Amino acid sequence: MILKKLFEDFDLSIERILIKEYKRLKLTMQEMSVLLALFSIYKKRKNFSTASIAKRVELSTEEIGKAVESLMDKGFLTIELESKDGKQREIFNLDQTFKKIESLFIQDDLDETRAAQQSEIADTITLIEQGLGRGLLPYELENIRRWYDDKAFTHDQIINACKQASERMSIKYVERLLNQIIPEKILIDQDVDQALDELFKSMK
C-alpha cells in the first residue's frame, strides 16, 4: 500500500487527508476523531487502549466505544489479540483505512479520465456530424465509442483522420484511415532486452 508506506516512512499527513475526505468516506465526526487518535497512537505503538484514545479526543468512554465498534463494522479498523512474553494484548490495525483512501483516489482518477474521454468523444462526434451535415446513427456512435474504448488510437489520431476524411466524410472512411496508421515501435532498453534474451535462452 503506497499510502501506508508514505505514512510510515515519510510522515505523510494522513490526518489532513481524513479531515478533508471524511464525508466521502462516510465517517461521522466522532468516528473521524477516534480514527485520528488511533493514527496518532499508531506512530508510537499499536496497542489498543480506550484510555489512550480518550486522552486525544473530547468524547466519553461510551462514545469512544460506539465509534470504535462502528469503525470496525465499516471496515476501517481491526483489533486482534497478540501473545507476547506469555501475555496477551490487543493490537489494532489500520490497513483497511489506507486501502479505503487509496480506493477513493483511484476512483477519482478513473472519473477524471472518463470525463476527459467523454469530452474527446463529443469533439469527434461534432466534427463528423459537421462533415456529414447530419446527426449520427446509433451504429455510427457505437463505432466512435469503440475507437476510444479499444485504445488502439489516440484522440489526436482520430481527429486527424476525421479532418483528412472531410471531403469524403463517413465513419467507414475515417476507420479506414485509422487502420492505415502504423503503430509506433516500442523501444526496449538494451539492458532489458539482454535480460529478456537470457531468460528466453534459459527456458530452452
Confirm whether pTM is higher than 0.85.
no
Question: What nine digits make up the cell of 121?
Answer: 468523444
Q: How far apart are alpha carbons 52 and 43 in whole angstroms?
A: 13
Question: What nine digits make up the cell of 14?
Answer: 494522513
In the chain, where the domains are located: 2-93, 110-179
**Phi/psi at 79 (5° precision):** -125, 130
CATH code for the part of the protein at 2-93 = 1.10.10.10
Q: How far apart are alpha carbons 145 and 199 in whole angstroms?
A: 40
Per-residue pLDDT of the chain (204 residues; tens, 9 = 90+): 788 888 888 888 888 999 999 999 999 999 999 999 999 998 788 889 899 999 999 999 999 999 999 999 999 999 998 887 778 888 999 999 999 999 999 999 999 988 988 999 999 999 999 999 999 999 999 999 999 988 888 999 999 999 998 888 999 999 999 988 765 544 445 565 566 555 545 444
Strand partners, 80: 91
**Phi/psi at 67 (5° precision):** -65, -40
Half-sphere exposure (Cβ direction) of 180: Cα atoms closer than 13 Å: 10
